[in-house]
Homo-oligomer: A and B are copies of this chain.
Amino acid sequence: MVTFNDIAADLERQAIELPSWAFGNSGTRFKVFGTPGTPRTPEEKIADAAQVNRYTGLAPKVAIHIPWDAVDDYAALRSYANDLGVELGTVNSNTFQDDAYKFGSLTSSDPATRRKAVDHHLECIDVMHRTGSQDLKIWLADGTNYPGQGDIRSRQDRLHESLQEIYDGLGDDQRLVLEYKFFEPAFYHTDVPDWGTSYAHVSALGPKALTCLDTGHHAPGTNIEFIVAQLLRLGKLGSFDFNSRFYADDDLIVGSADPFQLFRILFEVVRGGGYDVGSPVAFMLDQCHNIEDKIVGQLRSVLNVQEMTARALLVDRDALLAAQNDNDVLGANGILMDAFYTDVRPHLAAWRESRGLPADPIAAFKASGYQERIVAERAGGVQAGWGA
């Protein structure tokens, strides 16, 4: 049996990167609702993100998105973040909002468009040098809406060429993580639609290229923990974008739609060494808070990941392996479920307090007056959003 005591030390190294854009407005094609207090600048987003880390100790990094978070002086932005106790993390590129990319970017049949898109990534690498970021994350929105619109095969070939040039521009300690997505914004074919495609590309590039798994980017019914196990086995799982979904890429709070799935995913992470000391796997959130409070939403999210990681760590793996080898189907399943149904919340509250953190981070944040302050202070200006 594994007790909470056995896992308390392991919980120390949990670190979840927050997406700066989660603090800005987001929505659907039908409407983006604004909210009082929404940040207007990269600095205000970072300030909000720092609150999440302050109350949980779980979120030491903030991912940025270029150009949404483009600034003149990245060194200054980095200092600003450090002063608030956080670091700048993954740099996310954007090749889906410029008019030039209407029909594709890294896969475009137009050499000038590809050039522009590759150059954007090289600039992102430049930003990374200044922010101290390790990862360049490429979520490629390229695809087509109608059969025949594009040539699927040659787009793959051009994608490889574009990625190769970006890869060659990476510094020694930098990595490229290639995200895949089932669909949206393209509605017929997507150029990196599944883990197999990402894997084929990053394998062709080299050791600094890895796959990014966004938990909301799969076909209905996909067994995501299988992909986690497989990519870890193949040495190509670079990072997670956590969120949850009922239907498509809903980008809801991680763990809110199917908590048991999150548990199974985290169990395979632990099982496959992805949570080990020195693991190359980076854990990030990628979510939208369309109608709910954004800072509290992020607090809830990192706590969900922490609670579920604790449950995954509590699985008695020796007993599980024994039951598996006995083909004791219900026994093995029962061992897994026992950890899932364990209420780790009181243990985690105590664990937090013992480390100088509030037992209830959400309550502590709410009591702090921060939200009221930003609502008052952030009057005027243009609230940050996706610029869609």
Contacts and interface: CB of A to CB of B under 8 A. Distances in A.
Interface of A: 26-34, 96-97, 99, 102-103, 109-110, 141, 144-153, 156-157, 182-185, 187-190, 193-197, 199-200, 218-223, 225-227, 229-230, 232-234, 245-248, 250, 252-253, 256-261, 264, 268, 271-272, 290-293, 296-297, 300, 307, 320-321, 323-325, 327, 329-330, 332-337, 340-343, 345, 386, 388
A84 to B, nearest CB: 24
> How many copies of this chain sit in the oligomeric assembly?
4
Contact of A153 (B147, B233, B252): B233
Contacts of A247: 182-184, 187, 221, 248
Nearest to A204: B234
B330 A293 contact: yes
A144 B323 CA distance: 14
Contact of A145 (B103, B189, B290, B341): B290
B260 A258 contact: yes
A9 to B, nearest CB: 23
A376 to B, nearest CB: 20
A380 to B, nearest CB: 18
Given A230-B196, A232-B153, A259 B256 contact: no
A200 B199 contact: yes
Given A219-B221, A220-B221, A388-B27, A324 B187 contact: no
B330 A150 contact: no
Given A221-B220, A388-B29, A194 B193 contact: no
Nearest to A98: B31
A153 to B, nearest CB: 5
Contact of A226 (B30, B185, B189): B189
Given A32-B388, A145-B290, A196-B200, 20 more contacts: A29-B388, A30-B141, A30-B185, A31-B96, A145-B292, A146-B256, A146-B329, A147-B333, A148-B333, A152-B229, A183-B247, A183-B248, A190-B223, A193-B223, A196-B230, A200-B234, A219-B221, A221-B247, A293-B330, A300-B330
A229 B264 contact: no
A343 to B, nearest CB: 4
Contacts of A341: 307, 343, 345
Nearest to A94: B30
A144 B225 CA distance: 13
A337 to B, nearest CB: 7
B182 A221 contact: yes
Contacts of A152: 225-226, 229, 268, 271
A28 B184 contact: yes
8 contacts: A30-B141, A146-B252, A147-B336, A184-B248, A194-B195, A199-B199, A220-B220, A258-B258
A233 B157 contact: yes
B253 A146 contact: yes
A144 B332 CA distance: 11
A333 B260 CA distance: 17
Contact of A185 (B28, B193, B246): B28
A345 B339 CA distance: 12
A327 B28 CA distance: 19
Contacts of A272: 153
A103 B27 contact: no
B150 A29 contact: no
Nearest to A323: B148
A97 to B, nearest CB: 5
B223 A222 contact: no
A86 to B, nearest CB: 23
